[in-house]
Structures are given as structure tokens and as C-alpha cells.
Amino acid sequence: MNHSRRARAHPTATETSTERRARNLYDLVMPSRAPAYITTPIYYVNDRPHIGSAYTTTLCDVWARAMRLDGRDVFFLTGTDEHGGKVEKSAKDRGITPQALADENSAEFRKLLGPFCLSNDDFIRTTEPRHESQVKLFVERLLKSGDIYLGEFIGWYDEGQEEYITETRAKELEYKSPISGRPLVRATEKNYYFRLSAFQSRLEEFFKANPGFVRPEGRFNEVLGRLRDGLQDVPVTRTNFTWGIPMPGASEHVIYVWIDALFNYATALGLGEPQGALAQERAKYWPPAYHVIGKEILWFHAVIWPAMLMALDLPMPKCVYAHSFWIRNGQKMSKSLGNFVDLETIDGFFAKYGVDAWRWYMTTQGPIGTQDADFSDKHFHEIYTAHLVNTFANCASRTSSMIEKYFGGVMPAAETASMPISAAAGAPTWSAFTEATAAKVARHYEAFELAEASDAALSIVRAVDILINETAPFKLAKDPANLPRVAEILAACAEGVRVAAVLLTPIMPGKCAEVLTAYGSALDGDRASSGLAAAARWGGLTAGTKIAKCAPFMRVDAPVA
Ligand code: MSP
């Protein structure tokens, strides 16, 4: 993602083609202002949390906060995936029960939520009775409908991924795992199968009618390409380990971890028991607006899960958003290379730059598109300094200091709505510019174009910066006769900072609250629930409001190369 390093044109209120696309996607994804549901993958408990899991959850959090700020009723789900042969084996190696291992590592994931400012509404664990009982009910329904049947299967199996691979794809992969590189094994199993092959044409039709179902577009094309190879039925049970949900009526089988895990999105809302108390409260959130995942688990989410939902007659999610990977110095992160950006490393960034800076970097520089993104200390520092210290903090601090110096820390009275944002010919007025920008930001957030949302919001800060540089209020103020003009300039700057801080709140909740509080405009009560456009409307900061000096981000030393 290098959009934020691109040279920027002077901000205007006209719509670009990217914005038009965002508006179309917005129409596609959110036809109404219905309750909104967003999910992360549920993370394996045999791994510790690291930048990857923190990244996906942070993106979902930004979206959830943005939608809440826009007055939407949001449900944001994350959790842990706790069954399967790998967990059973790791637990055995450590001489503890799989449940003890799951408890321990699931807690590690939950511990992240506070420090990363993640505002999930629930945290689901696949070993919870509420999940297990509903998975059984779903599977019983699928057995009854004939979409799950008992059969025998011989195929290529990726042991590390616990996944079967089709003959065509196995050949393409030279019979090696695309993830671990280890040889695929020939496996035979008497198993229960999901009749995925029966959904080929329904899926094709669905994809044709819903071109925004998988995003980004490049990932959708990959799915469509693989779909052309034809679909095979997929095993939904295993007999080679016991750590899983027993198959109803055949307890020598346990439900395959992937099938068990996918159901989490539905069980968290109680959909397995439509008459139950949980469903009464939460069924309104279905279908999800976004299942946000990493690119490696796209097939399960884009093909197997939709087919299961079709078999269960449940409405389709609006979008499966598959981001790419964080890599480290051009290389894949792996345990063997020891180059993971792990929690200890992240703690170092928190200590030096703070969590809001971390969230800013994740949101604006991450692998949200089809390209992997390289995580580097130097780049992090550059972005921190350029965007947060030199742009956002600089404007908030210069403006508040000048208001203190020239107006005793009180917002001066001035008519700014119809003031042009700059001396450039055709420059929009502050109220028109910020209104158009707020609408653009809201659309980008909703369409999960989070880097674009951040960039549009920051364009207001850049406009404030241009105004200060063009008019030099600190020079004008030397002559008392200019004070009405200085009042006008600083009132516009202060209101611009306030509006930008409102729009950036989903990404940097802590620092934006700090700025808004200093500017006497904390987003509480009515201000927070009136919708993004209303909260960002020009004129929210009224004359007489006390403005305290603030410097939300401080310059820090560059990392040692
Ligand atoms: N348990 C399954 C998911 C089941 S969802 C029904 C799983 N878990 S996982 O612990 O391996 O988490 C995978 C997810 O972690 C990825 O899809 C992605 O969201 C995140 N990431 C893991 N490594 C990553 C990077 N290096 N970069 C970005 N995100 C990555 O698969």
C-alpha cells in the first residue's frame, strides 16, 4: 500500500473514480442501514497471537467502530478455534489435556483485546457448549437433508493444513503442500462428506450475480479459476483423533475442525437454535456484512461456507474480504526463520509509539489489497513521523497553542462556514469541503476501504496546514488590528482539527479522544450516536468553548538501522 506516500493534489470536493467505485461498493455491500455484523477468523490455539491475528482483528475493529460512530447497530465477533489433531498433539507433547492447552492459549488471544483497543462484542471459543450443541444441530439438519452422507474417499492430503487437495491442484503443486512444502500423502478414509459437488452451478450463479462477494477483485478471480476445476465433496469428519465435536449418531467420528470452525459465525448468533434466547437477541445481525480473513483461508470461506449456508437455507454473507500477508524484510514470517513480529516485538512499538500509532500503521500501510506488505521498523517510524507527528499532532498542537496565546484558550467567535479552504481558485468552502469529505470517509469505511478512509480524513488536517502556512496567523497577530482575521483563521483551523479527529476516531480512538477532549468536543452521549455526518458537521465547535493545549504525538528517535 503506497497510496499514502503518493504526492497529493490539493483537496477538493469533487469525486474521483476511486471514490465512485467506493460508492458503488457501498451500495452493493450495504443496501440498507440494517444491523451490521463483522467477523475475524477464529484463531488456532496452537499458535500464539502475532501481527497477523492482531492485524485482521484491528481492521475489523476499525470498521466496527466506524459503523457504531455512524449510528449503526454493530456486532463484531472474534474468537479461537480450539479443536483438531494439531491441538491434541501439542497438548500431548506438553503432557496436558487439549482443553487445558486451549484454555491457556485462548486466554492469550483474549489478553490482546484491551491493549490493542479491540471492541469486539463477543469472543467465541469452539469448545464452548453453546457452540458445540449448535454445531451438532446444524450437522443433524444436513444429515437429514442428505447434504452430508457417509462415504469412502481416497485423495491427496496436506497433513499440516489438515486439508484434502484435488488431483488437478495436487499435480500443479507437484504433490507438495503449498504452505509447508512437505509431500502430500495419499489417504483413504471412511467418512462423512458434505455434498459440495452438488452446489457447483448454484455457486457459479451466485458469484455471477454478486461480483463484490469476494474482495479484493484479484482474489475473486482466483476463486472463480479454481471453481472451474470442478468441486469435489469434502470430508466433514475424522477418525484419526478424538479432540473434536462427536458426530451425531456416530461418535467414533469427530467433526472436521474446519467445518466446526466455520459454524462459529452462525453459532455466536444462536442460529443453530432459531427459537432460542440467543437467536432472539442476535439473529437480526445475520447475514454478515464482512467475513474478514487472510488470503490462505479463502477457499473455505468463499466456496465451502457459502455452499453450507445454501444447504441450510441461510442468507449469504455480503462479502468475504481476504487481505494479504505481512511479511518481514521481504520474507514470509515463520517459526523456523524466527522473524515473526510477535507480541514482544509489538510491545516495543507500543512503548515507543503508542497503540494508536500502531493501529494507524496497521490500517494505512497493511496488506489490505492483493499485495503482501513488508513490516519494517524504519517505515513504521517514517509513517509515524510524517502522518502523526508532522501532520495530525502538529496541526492540533499549533492551533491550540495559538488559540491559547491570542485568545486565552477560548474558541474565538468567527464566521467560517463560507470561508474558502485556501486561496487557490475554485477552492470549496470549509463547510462544503468537510461535509463532502466526511461523506467520502463514511463511504470508504463502510466499503472496507480503510486506508482510503484514513487518507480522506487526513486531507482535512492537510487543508488546515495549508491554511496556516498560507495565512501565517502568527505573523498577522503581531498587529492587533488583524485579530478579527486571526480569529477567523484559527476558528477554522480548530474546527478542521475537530472534524478530522472525529473522522479518525475509529482508527485512533485514544488519541482522537485526547484531542477532542482538549478541544472541548468529546464524543460522548448524543455526539457519538448522531451519526458520522452529524458529528463531523461544520460548526460543532462553538465560540467560547475552552481549548486546552495538546500534542497528541511526540517526536521520537529513529530506530537504529
Ligand atoms: N483457525 C483458522 C481459521 C478458521 S475461521 C473459521 C485459522 N487460524 S489461524 O490462527 O491460522 O489464523 C489465520 C489468520 O491469521 C489469517 O487468515 C489472517 O487473518 C491472520 N494471519 C496469520 N498470519 C498472517 C500474516 N503474516 N499477515 C496477515 N495476516 C495473517 O486459519
Question: Using one digit for the tens of pLDDT, what is the confidence trace for 294-316?
Answer: 999 999 999 999 999 999 999 99
Dihedral sign computed on CA atoms, order 136, 139, 143, 145 = positive
Q: What confidence category does residue 519 fall into, taking pLDDT thresholds of 50, 70 and 90?
A: very high
Distance between CA 170 and CA 158 in Å, rounded? 10
Contact predicate 191/157, CB 8 Å: no
**What atom of ligand 1 comes closest to residue 324's alpha carbon?**
28
Nine cell digits for residue 264:
462459529
Contact predicate 176/184, CB 8 Å: yes
With 80 as the cut, is the pLDDT of residue 26 above it? no
With 80 as the cut, is the pLDDT of residue 238 above it? yes
Rounded to the nearest whole angstrom, what is the distance from the C-alpha of residue 55 to the centroid of ligand 1? Answer: 10
With 70 as the cut, is the pLDDT of residue 6 above it? no
Question: Using one digit for the tens of pLDDT, what is the confidence trace for 470-497?
Answer: 999 999 999 999 999 999 999 999 999 9
pLDDT given at position 47: 86
* Nearest-CA residue for atom 12 of ligand 1: 43
Alpha helices in 312-412 (DSSP H): 343-353, 355-365, 377-383, 394-407
Q: What confidence category does residue 529 fall into, taking pLDDT thresholds of 50, 70 and 90?
A: low
With 60 as the cut, is the pLDDT of residue 1 above it? no
Distance between CA 171 and CA 191 in Å, rounded? 24
Question: Using one digit for the tens of pLDDT, what is the confidence trace for 118-166?
Answer: 999 999 999 999 999 999 999 999 999 999 999 987 889 998 888 889 8
Q: Which of 321, 325, 368, 370 best tests ligand 1's pocket when mutated (most atoms within 8 Å of CB)? A: 325
CATH topology of domain 3-29+377-535: Isoleucyl-tRNA Synthetase; Domain 1 (1.10.730)
C-alpha dihedral, 360 to 363 to 366 to 370, nearest 10°: -160
Task: State the DSSP string of 424-449.
Answer: STTPPBHHHHHHHHHHHHHHHHHTT-
Distance between CA 71 and CA 74 in Å, rounded? 9
Distance between CA 240 and CA 457 in Å, rounded? 53
Distance between CA 548 and CA 324 in Å, rounded? 42
pLDDT given at position 255: 97
Q: How many CB atoms lie within 10 A of CB 344?
A: 9
Question: Using one digit for the tens of pLDDT, what is the confidence trace for 327-368?
Answer: 998 888 887 888 889 999 999 999 999 999 999 999 999 999
Rounded to the nearest whole angstrom, what is the distance from the C-alpha of residue 193 to the centroid of ligand 1? Answer: 25
Rounded to the nearest whole angstrom, what is the distance from the C-alpha of residue 536 to the centroid of ligand 1? Answer: 35
With 60 as the cut, is the pLDDT of residue 242 above it? yes
Contact predicate 114/77, CB 8 Å: no
Q: Which of 38, 56, 258, 295 best tests ligand 1's pocket when mutated (most atoms within 8 Å of CB)? A: 56
Q: Domain-by-domain residue ranges, the chain?
A: 3-29+377-535
Q: Which of 44, 236, 363 best tests ligand 1's pocket when mutated (most atoms within 8 Å of CB)? A: 44
**CA distances for 24 relative to 212, 317, 455, 484, angstroms:** 10, 18, 19, 44
**What atom of ligand 1 comes closest to residue 292's alpha carbon?**
19
Tell me the whole-structure pTM to 2 decimals: 0.90
pLDDT given at position 527: 58
AA identity, residue 458: L
With 50 as the cut, is the pLDDT of residue 10 above it? no
Nine cell digits for residue 131:
457452540
Distance between CA 439 and CA 503 in Å, rounded? 10
Nine cell digits for residue 433:
469541503
CB hemisphere CA count around 342 (13 angstroms): 10
Rounded to the nearest whole angstrom, what is the distance from the C-alpha of residue 179 to the centroid of ligand 1? Answer: 13
Tell me which residues have their CB closer than 6 angstroms to ligand 1: 41-44, 47, 52-53, 55-56, 81, 261-262, 264, 293-294, 296-297, 325-326, 333
Contact predicate 36/289, CB 8 Å: yes
